[in-house]
Chain A
């Protein structure tokens, strides 16, 4: 089983996001960069399948040099090799451009399965998985919590609003990982040592004959709409507090 996991490096979710001077991007100083949490589920699932079925796990990332750290993390977890498409200015590019770049890297690897996180917790777009599937002419199975392999087929669970869909697909296929798929392992110390010697190939956009230009642009970033200061509900007893709150919700806010 030949498996690819596409990973993105994102600001740690603890990060207070600040808008940069250009008003269109975020200030990237003081950011701790980590592997997108949903991608960790993808790496873990690939490693579990590899343990069962054999084969090779390749991790692919796109971004500046710092993305190497996240690729090394995946190698330390147990992936076999990594490819970085290195470009300093690509962070924040249109996901469709990223999907095209990933397609160019993934296609020659000829995978049976490609994993991605269901969305990256920075741009929250969730577009790359299904776009990559289109560019590779593969089915996409999005936001998945269980993967079961058959003979040349895969069966997945996909939770949607109020239901869980059981979907069967031919291979090769693209799967995007949702929380619940597995419990990602931590990289062990021997794993980290081994990762340093594993192959990490660097390519440029020029090597692929592609650019970071996409079909969407950010016109402006703004802080979230500010909220008016809250009102502290008065009351001496829980009953008074509850009664006063209920009154506010009904008469002032008109939401109940």
Chain B
């Protein structure tokens, strides 16, 4: 069968945005290789939703329906996918570099005796092989990686690859890979308060550092983030001070992010932080110290008091509607 496969990702029966980003990227790779895209969906009661992958380049969708696939487990997913991949022998397998995709990549690569390029930000085809570019050292260096095993597995960083509509409906073929004994079980899913978009998938991030002075002051960042439809992040100093939860930390020992807009408020710009947010498309620094390193990295520098500028910016955003 060969070709380029994309492992789509669903939550509660709905395909996640990263699946369409990955399918669109897969289409470009497949075109360069002169082959087609097959998407794989594991889920429960969601056959109709699979067709949407056709719009973003999948010619065919392999859909496996089982209650065991409703919520992701490494166990069930890696078993099923390894069997499907062995049967279909794709040249390339792409996944999202989401929590799910990152977890799956290593296990799948080990099962298939290959390797994976993780959290890639660019893909190209050279001599018929996929060469993937990925930031390492949290973005201090970029590596071009060639997976020499087969299939070539790569996970794609969310919010980097554009969703491109290229086709119509995909033909959905039902498959039922065999499942062995499962050793793990998701016993509870706790929803995080607010239902905010995760930093790794956010298109706008408003982030605060030591200059925020105390936990309560983050409310002005929350307000701006709300108005912009963004998510609040934090520097390591703010997290270590106990002002924000560790899941909010951006940087080399936190999350590496690629939003369209990153607004750094009261963040001086330690090397670890700059690495974690340096590939954001547009960076704004709001810091009263004109010599703060963050200004070197920013597209737009505001030298001013964040406690005055941030609320004023919230008002301006409201005015713009």
Contact = CB atoms under 8 A, between A and B. Distances in A.
Q: Would you call the interface of chain A mostly helix, strand, loop, or mixed?
A: mixed
Contacts of B137: 11, 15, 17, 26, 121-124
A223 B184 contact: no
Contact of B141 (A37, A160, A217, A222): A222
B261 A246 contact: no
Given A167-B73, A238-B308, A243-B312, 15 more contacts: A121-B253, A127-B105, A133-B110, A160-B99, A165-B188, A215-B113, A221-B141, A222-B142, A223-B142, A224-B139, A224-B279, A231-B301, A242-B312, A245-B302, A249-B284
Contact of B135 (A99, A135, A224, A256): A224
Interface string B223-252: 000001000000000000000011101001
B297 A227 contact: yes
B169 interface: no
Contacts of A127: 105-106, 109, 115-116, 118
Given A222-B144, A241-B304, A255 B282 contact: yes
Contacts of B190: 163-166
Contacts of A96: 106, 109-110, 114-115, 149
B107 A134 contact: yes
A134 B111 contact: yes
Given A16-B140, A141-B184, A166-B186, A216 B107 contact: no
B291 to A, nearest CB: 13
Interface in B102-136: 102-107, 109-111, 113-119, 131, 134-136
Contacts of B192: 159, 162-164
A189 interface: no
B309 interface: yes
B273 to A, nearest CB: 10
A141 B103 CA distance: 9
A221 B191 CA distance: 40
Contact of A169 (B139, B144, B184): B184
Contacts of B44: none
A239 B186 contact: no
10 contacts: A13-B138, A96-B109, A138-B183, A164-B192, A167-B184, A215-B115, A224-B135, A241-B312, A242-B312, A253-B282
Interface string A229-245: 01111010011011101
Contacts of A242: 309, 312-313, 315-316
A164 B185 CA distance: 14
Contacts of B295: 230
A125 interface: yes
A58 interface: no
Nearest to A130: B106
A149 interface: no
B187 A168 contact: yes
Contacts of B100: 160
Interface stretch (B87-95, B160-168, B195-203): B195-203
Contact of B142 (A214, A221, A239): A221
B109 A131 contact: yes
A162 B197 contact: yes
B320 interface: yes
Contact of A179 (B109, B249, B301): B249
Interface string B200-227: 1100100000000000000000000000
B146 A216 contact: yes
Contacts of A239: 312
A126 B140 CA distance: 17
Contact of A14 (B183, B271, B302): B271
Interface string A103-136: 0000000000000000001111111111101110
A220 B124 CA distance: 14
A212 B254 CA distance: 29
Given A13-B272, A227-B299, A216 B200 contact: no
B204 to A, nearest CB: 7
Contacts of B312: 238-239, 241-243
B46 interface: no
A231 to B, nearest CB: 6
B170 interface: no
